[in-house]
Amino acid sequence: MARQSTRAQAPRVKEILAALRRTYPDAHCELEYSNPLELLIATILSAQCTDKRVNQVTRTLFQKYRSAADYARAPLSELEQAIRTTGFYKNKARNIQACCRALVERHGGQVPRTMEELTALEGVGRKTANVVLGNAFGLNEGIVVDTHVRRVARRLGLTRQKNPEKIEQELMQLVPRELWTQFSHWLIWHGRRRCTARKPDCEHCELRELCPSAGNATVD
């Protein structure tokens, strides 16, 4: 049987967007930052780690390292220890340093504002680039597809894809561009508060009547 076209999905998508807006009117980036560089570093640290822990680490990290040059010249072992509790700390420390050295050498110590320049940085893929573009610069260049967006979008039947880039392409066809950044926040908030990975709370879910997985959210 044919899967539903994006055109056939359109009315249901509008209802889902309205319900998300109604349920999470204050959804926002929960990583704490005060400039684009801090958001870039926080997002690199957020891989397979809770925002809560990232914020715990960055609160002190951002006092010690204030510019790309600060990370670029720091002893690697010192950087590793400072971020150790976020996990994957050797990769993350190496990526942050290489990334910041590239910022100093190619971008005058500033964070670039294009997808191409961002994803050319070490440790920065489309997900991290979309977080920075959308939240630090207010640019809707794409849709953040993290573990929550992937799981919730699949459970809601908005995509059947598993590859994050294919999921992003399909979601971009379904959601108006001016909502891309908010849409990511809505799905992430929903993924954390209701549609959790291990024990989704379908009984109290505000999207229950719009969700094909309600009651048996077996999709990962």
Partner DNA sequence: CTCCCGATAT
Partner DNA sequence: ATATCAGGAG
Residues at the site binding DNA, with contacts judged by CB under 7 A: 28-31, 43-44, 46-53, 84-92, 95, 119, 122-129, 131, 135, 144, 146-148, 151, 164, 184-185, 188, 191-192, 196-199, 220
Catalytic residue among 14, 26, 92, 146: 146
Considering the complex, state which of residue 116 and residue 209 has its C-beta at the smaller distance from DNA.
116
Nearest to 72 by CA among 108, 120, 115, 23: 108
Considering the complex, state which of residue 1 and residue 124 has its C-beta at the smaller distance from DNA.
124
Considering the complex, state which of residue 146 and residue 174 has its C-beta at the smaller distance from DNA.
146
| H-helix segments, the chain | 6-23, 36-45, 51-64, 68-73, 76-83, 89-107, 115-119, 126-131, 147-155, 164-174, 180-193
Nearest to 6 by CA among 165, 191, 157: 157
Give residue 4's region: left, alpha or beta (phi > 0; psi -120 to 50).
beta
Contacts (Cβ under 8 Å, ≥6 apart) of 183: 17, 20, 143, 171, 175
Separation CA 206–CA 192 (nearest Å): 14
CB of 15 to DNA, least distance (A): 23
Nearest to 109 by CA among 58, 67, 79, 65: 67
What's phi and psi for 51, nearest 5 deg?
A: -60, -35
CB of 112 to DNA, least distance (A): 14
Considering the complex, state which of residue 5 and residue 34 has its C-beta at the smaller distance from DNA.
34
Q: Write out the binding residues for [4Fe-4S] cluster.
A: 195, 202, 205, 211
Catalytic residue among 127, 162, 166, 220: 127
127 tagged catalytic: yes
201 tagged catalytic: no
CB of 164 to DNA, least distance (A): 7
Q: Write out the binding residues.
A: 195, 202, 205, 211
CB of 1 to DNA, least distance (A): 25
Nearest to 157 by CA among 1, 7, 16, 25: 16
Catalytic residues: 127, 146
